[in-house]
Amino acid sequence: MEKPHYIGVIGAGTCPEATYELARNLGSEIGKRGWTLICGGLGGVMEGAARGCLEAGGLTVGLLPGLTRQSANPFIHVPIPTGLGEGRNLLVVRASDLLVSIAGGYGTLSEIAMALKIKKSVIGLETWKEITGIRHVTDYQEAIKLITQLLGELSLDV
């Protein structure tokens, strides 16, 4: 049985409605393809992506900073409390096959840096344009095309 790909979605914990909808649309496409969504499990971009994925029938995993599953947004299937605070960002990066960054602040920047350091692909949507190594796209459809391409390259390396 083929195991699903794990797509990390990282980004702002609070965001404007347009950013939330961008994340939701991306999450929906992730869910439609049977990929598992990995995120930090809280609000903003994480909630938007998880909501879209769940609505499309996909599986969502939230690696939470605190000690309770109840802190997860309502669209997380598998809430995993880590008790690590921002340290859980490393778990999100390591658990994902690749990451998509949408908007975000310094927490998102830390995830981008860790991913790039270990040579994991990072796709950027409206995020940290000045960071070398991020593959910037203009919309979620372009992100999905790039994810598909990168996953194909990963499969060849296995």
> Where do the structural domains in the chain lie, given as residue ranges?
6-157
Among residues 108, 81, 79, 104, which one has the least CA distance to residue 93? 108
pLDDT at 157: 54
Spatial CB neighbours of 4, under 8 Å, sequence gap ≥ 6: 34, 35, 36, 59
Q: How many CB atoms lie within 10 A of CB 52?
A: 28
Q: For residue range 89-142, what is the model confidence (pLDDT) as tens digits?
A: 999 999 999 999 999 999 999 999 999 999 999 999 999 999 999 999 999 999
CATH topology of domain 6-157: Rossmann fold (3.40.50)
pLDDT at 154: 84
Q: How many CB atoms lie within 10 A of CB 28?
A: 22
Facing residues of 11 across strands? 102
Q: For residue range 124-137, what is the model confidence (pLDDT) as tens digits?
A: 999 999 999 999 99
What value does the mean pLDDT of the chain take?
Answer: 96
- CA 128, 78, 30, 103: dihedral to nearest 10 degrees? -20
Token readout for 154 is: 């990963």
Q: Which residue has the tokens 């908007």?
A: 103
pLDDT at 156: 59
> Is 103 within 8 Å of 120 (Cβ atoms)?
no
CA 27 – CA 49 distance, rounded (Å)? 4
Mapping DSSP to helix (H, G, I), strand (E, B) and coil, where does residue 79 land? strand
